[in-house]
Amino acid sequence: MRRIPMNLFGQEIGRADRVLPIPGNKFVSFRTKSKYLTSMRTRLTPFAKLLIVVVVVGLGFLGYRALVSSGKLGMVTDSGPVTTEVAEQKTDAPAEGNTKAPSNSRQAFNYTPKAPVNGVLKGVVELGAAGFNSFVVEIDQQKNWKLQKAEWGNSLVYDGMASGKDVTQTLKQYIGGMLDFGVTGKNIHFVVSSGATKVESTQKIIKGIRSLGYVVNTVTPEQEAKLALKCVLPPSYEGQSFVVDIGSGNTKVSWIEGGQPKGIETYGAKYYVDNTPDNEVYLDVRSKAVQVPESKRKTCFIIGGVPFTLAKEVRQGEERYTVLKAPGDYQPEGAKEKCGLNIYNAIVDATGCQQFVFDWEANFTIGFLLTL
């Protein structure tokens, strides 16, 4: 049987076709060319059609990849178009279940206490378990007050006197600064915190103060809690708030109940010195804080050394009140701060309070001045 020659596209090659001139030859008629091209379009084999589809799809895929990699084409997700840049940012987002707030989200506490009118300057020095705090305050007849000068955590003075320096001479210099500011001698007072009475070197300092003719006032933990309440808690917040003072030697929790102040004591931020386990402290603090009535848990006004450190991280300018971040949003530095955060966390868990407000001008010793 004679074999019929075929071309790539399955077309029979006739005698005339074998000598078909190349396209564009001026001696080939238009009809011949048209017939030839029509034959190519209508007589493609299945294999040829498949080959063409594969080539077209492949070129389209390569073009799509090139556009995506250049960033000119967005990727589509269930929530709509997402550019490459945004998709990369999402990989840095907190994992599901992480409740930390974004660093740029911050609560504000807008409250302005009444300013004193024709007030008198009074000074007070706190002998705390970790050192001195001193305050000069203007107080008027209505007990409105304004902090005029403060020295926080002056442990160098405390440590220097405790190590054998002349107690009397050092105290004279310390008191002299308050006198120079305009406080009269009779309006300078000394208060020993309830936590400081447990420190051995405190007794030496108390004797030095008394030798200068000043009265040294000591307070119990319950009294200290009530004095903090008097200074820190704004009158308009008495029905919905409580107060926490996290000191080195102890922590005081207080609130108003039945028109009367109530205060309780638990561990302070230096419990690590006694090798007390964190869990033991957490449970004790929680058992005490849960006594705060539910109606008083909307806002907590908090003061003390560790809260002071926490507030510094988020304070805006010279604002009077700073809302702290959640305990888990802080990275503690040192044993004291770590222990203070454990106490803070226990109070949050016990009360469910979501707003802890640090007052930059308050101290329980100012509450003492308000009682005079």
pLDDT of 274 above 90: yes
Residues of the chain with CATH 3.30.420.150: 229-363
How far apart CA 314 and CA 328 sit, in angstroms, is: 14
Highest mean pLDDT among 84-88, 97-101, 352-356: 352-356
Residue type, 201: S
More confident residue, 121 or 94: 121
Highest mean pLDDT among 35-39, 45-49, 117-121: 117-121
Two tokens, residue 37: 């091209």
More confident residue, 156 or 252: 252
Of 76-85, 141-150, 243-252, 343-352, the range with the lowest mean pLDDT is 76-85
Beta bridge partners of 111: none
**Class of CATH domain 118-218:** alpha beta
Summarised one tens digit per residue, pLDDT across range 63-72 is 666 654 554 4
Two tokens, residue 167: 């107690």
Of 16-25, 82-91, 177-186, 289-298, the range with the lowest mean pLDDT is 82-91
pLDDT of 55 above 80: no
Tell me the CATH architecture of domain 229-363.
2-Layer Sandwich (3.30)
Residue 44: the pLDDT is 62
Residues of the chain with CATH 3.30.420.40: 118-218
Strands of the 241-246 sheet, one edge to the other: 260-267, 250-257, 241-246, 299-304, 356-359, 321-323
More confident residue, 128 or 248: 248
* Overall residue count recorded for the chain in this entry: 372
Residue 47: the pLDDT is 67
